[in-house]
Amino acid sequence: MKVFIFLLLSLILLSGCGGGTLQEGEASWYGPGFDGRLTSSGEVYNSSDTTAAHRTLPFDTVVRVINTENDKSVDVRINDRGPYEGDRIIDLSRAAAEDLDMMDSGVADVRLELVEAGGRIPRDLDQEMYTIQVGEYNSPPFAKRLAEEIGGDARFEPVFFFNRNRYMVYYGRFTSISDAERQIESLRERGYDGFVKQIN
């Protein structure tokens, strides 16, 4: 019994401490033009905060980003989604990029280590993920209203393009197109329509 309790406490301590490499790849940074805009988590983006965008890690997860080119590191909190360009694995705030000394290059080879999980960590951070887009609006109130009306796994996220924000309403996250298409049929039965969109 004592051995069991010791092992259980050890697992709890280890899970709280994080550690271990989560992912390796290329990091970029974003900031100009985004200050004051909503992130995918609903927070207002502040380039002076050490935050980051990641495709699949839960919001509020804290990861240590290590620049493998100069060994500099910074702890960032995930509060946005992205990057969606090439093979980049994380998009950092300006403050985080400054700490890693990657402002001039714009990109850097990095290693991500878990510090604190904000939720269940996906088994495969590179796995293709899909969602269902059910709406697109010019302002947050309309998008929020539709997401609340649908309920469940519905959410709305800002997307910046053509120098302005659009607010997308998405439903669910799926690891296969077929799973997403089955959910579309269920949504249609409730009077909603949409299409499958890859998010990773």
CATH number of residue 174's parent domain:
3.30.70.1070
Question: Is residue 2 domain-resident?
Answer: no
Looking at the fold, whether 57 and 100 belong to one and the same domain comes out as yes
Flag whether 10 is in a domain.
no
In a shared domain, residues 31 and 94: yes
Other Cβ atoms closer than 10 A to 28? 21
Domain end call among 66, 83, 116 = 116
CB 21 within 8 A of CB 142: no
Joined together, the tokens standing for residue 149 give 């009306």
Q: For residues 167 and 80, state if they share a domain.
A: no
Total domain count, the chain? 2
Q: Whole-angstrom Cα distance, residue 128 to residue 108?
A: 23
Asked whether residue 123 is domain-assigned, the answer is no
Strand pairing category for 73-80 and 51-53: parallel
Contact in structure between 196 and 179 (CB atoms under 8 Å):
no
Residue 64 lies in a domain: yes
Residues 108 and 28 in one domain: yes
The pLDDT assigned to 161 comes to 62
Looking at the structure, do residues 103 and 141 belong to the same domain, yes or no? no
pLDDT score recorded for residue 40: 76
| 164 in a structural domain | yes
Look at residue 79 and tell me if it is in a domain. Answer: yes
Range of the domain at 154: 130-198
CA dihedral sign of residues 84, 88, 89, 90: negative
Please tell me the distance from the alpha carbon of residue 50 to that of residue 74, in angstroms, as a whole number.
8
In the numeric block, the tokens 């709406």 are attached to: 135
What's the CA gap between 181 and 200, in Å, rounded?
17
Report how far residue 74's alpha carbon sits from residue 63's, in angstroms, rounded to the nearest whole number. 8
Residue 58 near residue 67 (C-beta atoms within 8 A): no
81 and 164 part of one domain: no
Per-residue pLDDT of the chain (200 residues; tens, 9 = 90+): 544 443 333 343 334 445 588 999 999 998 777 888 878 787 889 999 999 999 888 889 999 999 999 999 999 999 988 886 767 899 999 999 999 999 999 999 999 999 999 988 888 887 777 889 999 998 889 999 999 999 988 888 887 665 677 888 999 888 788 889 999 999 999 999 999 988 76
Indicate whether 101 and 160 sit together in one domain. no
Indicate whether 101 belongs to any domain: yes
CATH number (domain holding residue 40): 2.40.40.10
Residues 101 and 144 in one domain: no
Q: Is 9 inside any structural domain? A: no
